[in-house]
Chain A
């Protein structure tokens, strides 16, 4: 086993494979930064280039690119409030808020270091867990998967709202997100739902225009109304200085980073749940780490833990390879395309990857590690310049952000409908922000809607209503209840301890 591990490293360090890795990481760097150019789409575009490569060269190139996309996607999300990737939306909430407070450098430092450590944890997990995780993944059927989705939604609904009505507002947002995912041709009966006679809507609403408009347009409005740069009117030179502080923050909240990375790993190995979910669940967990009501009130306004949590979920990229490599079940769009690359390169995922091709499997682990180290090092070199972008006057930056928003939205289907959806979701996002509805549960509900419907339908047709009595379903349901009422319990506990502290 150890021999194969070292052999994997030596394979990646061969000059040709290493060169492909560097090229892949370079492309991934820019793909992550630019909104609208998705990691999955770029992987597909790059597939034809691997025909003449050896398996290790091909994977160094593709995986080198794929594994860094989220790392740099966080940069755009933090600086401009426009998600660099659909999977880097959650980091906007506190990351962009920090940028607006003049702490872009600190946010970027924390995000990059957490993303790097998250990727390392994910890669280590991939190396160690292949033989262990197989029974866990295979023991989760449709009812359990449906309940995991409900758990995720309850978690984010409960934690994104504060005060007495917080959970209610969160659940309304989540239900609205689920409702929006109903648009399009129903997968079970082929019925057209809410398509209003528009061919564009047959395939449902794409995530990219929804996410881009939903998060970017309210930020553009705010920037315009305030009439300042992203970082407000802070004195120049202050912004990039917190990079080291951000890196230190990651180590100050080391266990939060580890926990969020493990959450990313867990969600990463669950087929179909995808990267965005990992970021949101990690964000929700980060907000849960607040010990007092005041601390919790700081989330969404620029708490560094709201950056560390989602960035650490980068571990899911490596973990997502586990079901792909081990069982041939892709965990996300990106890994589905990578699965295609396996076949192109003449490798069949499955038991062979743990025997005959074990060094190749370990070369994947090393590729993820090396690519992330390279990209984070390069980003840290330029971080001050990147952070300075938040000092650019609003008059100059607004047309560029708007341009990225429109093009980002348009690239989903290259259709005018994408622009309409971007604008409509921008309007909805603005109204939700204005009237105090939390946006995170909405977007998570939208992302998970299709999956939830499929799992719910399969569970009901296969087991009737008996699926709700399955032990794992009951356990997850109880967990969801605990998550829903945890903030209220926590508040009561804090009030009681505060009362004890007051002398009689």
Chain B
């Protein structure tokens, strides 16, 4: 039996379905009916897939779905490194938004990404940063009037009456 990524994912789905079923047991009939209808098949199907994947001699991952597929790289360690890097940038943008809010995080992120990750020229980085900020501010803040939250830092400074 081999435990590849797909098998681990099936195991996770089995755990999720067990969680759904156990939670539903404590609810009244009205609220529990559909979770049961959903949770039980999910458990059965993911268990079946787990068994199939575990005892399959060859992986058929690539040719079994009609969906976009990752092309990957020849060098698997480089691919892994690059995947971790981009997820770190995505996570970093999220942290920036939380800490300093969209209005500052947007230009800061675009500039940092282009200058430090993309190694673009100063002028290119600055121009695109200005463009991104202009589009963000003009379209989403002014025109669409979307209320963007303040960052935790601004909120903290405001609480301390510094801002």
Contact = CB atoms under 8 A, between A and B. Distances in A.
A316 interface: no
B39 A179 contact: yes
Interface in A403-422: 403, 406-407, 410-411, 414-416, 419
Interface in A21-77: 34, 37
A438 B16 CA distance: 18
B154 interface: no
Contact of A194 (B23, B41, B71, B132): B23
A93 interface: yes
A460 B33 contact: yes
Interface in B61-88: 61-73, 79, 82-83, 85-87
Interface string B36-79: 01110110011011001000000011111111111111000001
B90 interface: yes
Given A217-B90, A224-B82, A399-B132, A160 B48 contact: no
A386 B13 CA distance: 41
Nearest to A456: B34
A96 B69 CA distance: 12
A395 B111 CA distance: 11
A453 interface: yes
Given A407-B102, A457-B33, A160 B67 contact: yes
Interface residues of B, number: 75
A439 B65 CA distance: 9
Nearest to B12: A431
Interface stretch (A132-140, A163-171, A340-348): A163-171
A297 B69 CA distance: 12
Contacts of B48: 168
B98 interface: yes
Interface stretch (A184-192, A323-331, A356-364): A184-192
A221 interface: yes
Range class of the A interface residue count? 35 or more
B2 interface: no
A1 interface: no
Contacts of B62: 436
B85 A399 contact: no
A384 to B, nearest CB: 21
Contacts of A381: none
Given A300-B68, A419-B97, A436-B65, 17 more contacts: A168-B52, A171-B45, A175-B38, A176-B42, A179-B38, A218-B68, A222-B68, A287-B66, A393-B118, A398-B86, A399-B109, A399-B113, A400-B132, A414-B147, A414-B148, A435-B4, A456-B37
Interface of B: 4-6, 9-10, 13, 16-17, 20, 23, 27-28, 30-31, 33-35, 37-39, 41-42, 45-46, 48-49, 52, 60-73, 79, 82-83, 85-87, 89-91, 93-94, 97-98, 102, 106, 109-110, 113-114, 117-120, 124, 128, 132, 136, 139-140, 144, 146-149
16 contacts: A93-B66, A161-B64, A172-B49, A176-B16, A182-B38, A218-B68, A218-B70, A221-B83, A225-B71, A398-B113, A402-B109, A403-B136, A436-B60, A438-B67, A439-B68, A440-B66
